[in-house]
């Protein structure tokens, strides 16, 4: 019997790749998205597949469907998008979690939460391990996302303890690849778009801040492996690439790979922008046998090729995002 998977946020960057992967495995996919940040362009190549179904729906409202497993990816994930409507962002994380958990409880099916490295905030330990509680500003401009995801994790574990629900909580570190929105303000898309246009590459702060970048195919492999893992392994588990790069190193690599004449300029560091971000993936290696396979240069080359194919007249990246 074919498994039917529900992917909330399925028309987004990660959701579209996950939907594609599940279809390739022979599963039916119900893609749910309100298209606030997702786009039908991300899934247009899937619409003709008879095993793929798209439903426009906001997860802050209950969803009545029949499925065998749930991947909850619904939430704006870039600072530009989640700061545009912070109240809706935190509602999406919390009410969305309540609704998918209620659905999973009714159907008695496993549910995976796409959480985030942002639950660690501006960390005091490096690299970040899953037992670190984080250092998060509860009232800052990023709090709608950070605290929303932290509250969602609380709900998942409370449903697990109180109702014996089969949950998986996955903390995603910076992910990049084809289908990123060129105007979403994330650092990889910002740098690539600026380099291809020959514009100045904007770095927030002195460029010494670090991030660890995971190519989307590796991330999806980790997500699927986690969902298929033993029921008693609920997480949280870090899924990301432990390779650590400064913002200046990333900018220089993008300039090299694009052959751009862009120059680096520095802007003030936004509020609460983390100084370091690197996952400890010891747990993922031990429990899932997973680790990323794609080196940064190879992943950037594929991502640059995707952006070269887009309309060059697309909106310029914004300057309010920081180094996310």
The residues carrying an active-site annotation are: 145
Partners of residue 176 on adjacent β-strands: 215
Integer-rounded Cα Rg, in Å, for the chain is 19
Secondary structure of residue 91 in the 3-state scheme:
helix
CA distances (Å), 241 to each of 61, 193, 226, in order?
Answer: 34, 23, 16
CA distances (Å), 91 to each of 105, 152, 286, in order?
Answer: 20, 10, 34
DSSP string, 222-265: HHHHHHTS-TT----EEES---EEEHHHHHHHHHHHHT----EE
- CA pair distance 39, 179, nearest whole angstrom: 10
Q: In what order do the strands lie in the sheet with 69-72?
A: 52-56, 28-33, 4-8, 69-72, 111-116, 167-172, 237-239
Q: For 218, what's the count of Cα atoms within 13 Å in the CB-facing half-sphere?
A: 27
CA angle (155, 21, 210) in 5-degree steps: 65
- CA pair distance 7, 323, nearest whole angstrom: 28
Residue 131 makes CB contacts below 8 A (sequence gap 6+) with none
Is-contact 187 321, C-beta < 8 A?
yes
Q: For 288, what's the count of Cα atoms within 13 Å in the CB-facing half-sphere?
A: 29
| Distance separating the N- and C-terminal Cα atoms of the chain | 41
| Residue 275 phi, psi (nearest 5) | -80, -35
């Amino acid at each position: 019997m074919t498994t039917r998977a529900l992917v909330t946020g399925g028309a987004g960057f990660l959701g579209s790749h996950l939907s594609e992967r599940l279809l390739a495995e022979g599963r039916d996919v119900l893609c749910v998205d309100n298209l606030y940040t997702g786009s039908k362009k991300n899934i247009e190549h899937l619409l003709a597949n008879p095993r793929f179904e798209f439903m426009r729906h906001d997860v802050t409202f209950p969803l009545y469907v029949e499925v065998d497993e749930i991947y909850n990816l619904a939430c704006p994930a870039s600072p530009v998008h989640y700061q545009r409507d912070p109240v809706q962002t935190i509602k999406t994380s919390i009410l969305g979690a309540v609704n998918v958990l209620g659905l999973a409880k009714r159907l008695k099916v496993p549910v995976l939460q796409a959480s985030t490295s942002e639950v660690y905030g501006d960390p005091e330990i490096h690299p970040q391990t899953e037992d670190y509680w984080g250092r998060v500003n509860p009232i800052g401009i990023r709090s709608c996302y950070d605290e929303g995801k932290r509250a969602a994790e609380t709900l998942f574990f409370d449903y697990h303890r109180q109702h014996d629900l089969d949950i998986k909580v996955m903390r995603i570190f910076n992910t990049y690849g084809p289908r990123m929105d060129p105007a979403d303000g994330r650092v990889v898309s910002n740098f690539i778009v600026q380099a291809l246009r020959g514009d100045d590459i904007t770095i927030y702060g002195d460029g010494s801040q670090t991030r660890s970048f995971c190519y989307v195919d590796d991330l999806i492999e980790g997500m699927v492996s986690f969902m298929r893992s033993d029921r008693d392994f609920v997480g949280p588990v870090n899924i990301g690439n432990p390779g650590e790069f400064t913002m200046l190193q990333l900018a220089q690599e993008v300039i090299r790979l694009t052959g751009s004449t862009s120059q680096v300029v520095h802007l003030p560091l936004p509020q609460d922008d983390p100084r370091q971000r690197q996952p400890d993936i010891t747990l993922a290696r031990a429990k899932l046998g997973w680790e990323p396979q794609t080196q940064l240069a190879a992943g950037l080359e594929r991502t640059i090729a995707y952006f070269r194919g887009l309309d060059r007249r697309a909106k310029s990246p914004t300057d309010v995002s920081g180094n996310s």
